[in-house]
Amino acid sequence: MATRVALVGAGGIGGYHFDQLRKYIGEHPGTVELVGVADVAEERAAELARRAGCAAYTSHVEMYEREKPQAIFVGIPPFAHNDQETAAAERGIHIFVQKPPAVTLAKAREIEAVIARSGVISAVGFQDRYLDVVDEARQALAGKRVGLAMGYWMGGMPGVPWWRVRAQSGGQAVEQTIHIFDTARYLFGEAETVTGAATAGLMTEVPNYDVDDASAMTIHFANGVLCTIFSACYLRGAPGKAGLDVYGQDLRVEYSLRSRVRISRRGETREVEHRNDNDLDCVRTFLEAVQSGDRSAIRSPYADAVKSLELPLAGHASVDSGRVVQLG
Ligand SMILES: NC(=O)c1ccc[n+]([C@@H]2O[C@H](COP(=O)([O-])OP(=O)(O)OC[C@H]3O[C@@H](n4cnc5c(N)ncnc54)[C@H](O)[C@@H]3O)[C@@H](O)[C@H]2O)c1
């Protein structure tokens, strides 16, 4: 029997969830049925539901009650996470949710606790964990002592209106650079402290803008790695750059976001281009876990993603207090 799947959020990433599901159904006909789309914006729900050939709702709870989905894909702005996940978990509905899992740690931990109690399967849209080139970086670094790493997401400001408001998006470190924080955790393990600095003043003419233009957050990992992650959202025309450079004693690993990894050792350099469809692999892993009941292949369950959210939020707390923030 086909797994009944519904979408919560029909904006940019809602369309992406639909496209990934269509790809999956194309590969595995009859295994997944799209049964509903919910969005607080009625016309957005209606438009995506029309494309998907299913029912549209403005209330996710009504959709859960009527359509009885077995799994949902949640793609809503960070501040909008309220009971979309908890109401699903309480009904035994499995949850795929976009990063960042929330805009505050308190909200993310509240959702995490309900998901844990319910036993439903969860996955967060950290699709970079499924990149072939991130696997290459992990293999190259396995067992190696690393001193320093530098991560960066230097870009412009996304156009959606909620993005420029810190209380709604969390700002660049939380909203986009979180992919780099998550990759750093995937490579180096858990962190002990975070220290942050931030600057603003370049984006004076953008209405309602109260996020930092740029920040630098230094993470001390328990294994000794010192990693500074830079975030910028003020570029306009200047070419952006995102990735993570890692320095061991006899090894340098340079990961360019979603494109390649360059591994240099004692005069020899190997460059590997990204080839796999990691977006689909991320979605496929969740769907197959729902179908089989075996969640062991999911690389970013909800509780793990909350730990990645903790890093940039600790960085902001450090910026605000001027102190080093201890984790755990
Ligand atoms: N994994 C990735 O690489 C990736 C890429 C893009 C976006 N995202 C994430 O997806 C999320 C959404 O981003 P987006 O670009 O789709 O934003 P968007 O503004 O394009 O769409 C958000 C949609 O959510 C709807 N919405 C708001 N509150 C809602 C609620 N309470 N219930 C149901 N729907 C609600 C809005 O009406 C809108 O249609 C963000 O957390 C973003 O970080 C992830």
Domain map (residue ranges) of the chain: 3-126+279-299, 128-276+310-326
Task: Report residues of the chain scoring pLDDT below 70.
Answer: none
Q: How many residues does the chain have?
A: 328
Instruction: For CA atoms 221, 168, 118, 294, give the dihedral sign.
Output: negative
pLDDT tens readout for residues 7-29: 999 999 999 999 999 999 999 99
pTM (two decimals): 0.98
- Residue having the nearest C-alpha atom to atom 9 of ligand 1: 98
At 328 the pLDDT is 81
- Residue ranges lining ligand 1, Cβ < 6 Å: 8-14, 38-41, 44, 60, 75-78, 80, 98-99, 125, 127, 160, 175
Tokens of 126: 């950290």
Nearest of 236, 196, 231, 230 to residue 211 by alpha carbon:
231
Architecture of domain 3-126+279-299: 3-Layer(aba) Sandwich (3.40)
Ligand 1 mean position to 147 CA, how many Å?
Answer: 37
Name the one residue in this structure whose structure tokens are 């509780």. 303
Considering the domain 128-276+310-326 in this protein, what is its CATH number? 3.30.360.10
Adjacent-strand bridge partners of 55:
36
Ligand 1 mean position to 75 CA, how many Å?
Answer: 4
Name the one residue in this structure whose structure tokens are 């293999």. 139
pLDDT tens readout for residues 261-306: 999 998 899 999 999 999 999 999 999 999 999 999 999 999 999 9
CA distance 304 to 263: 27
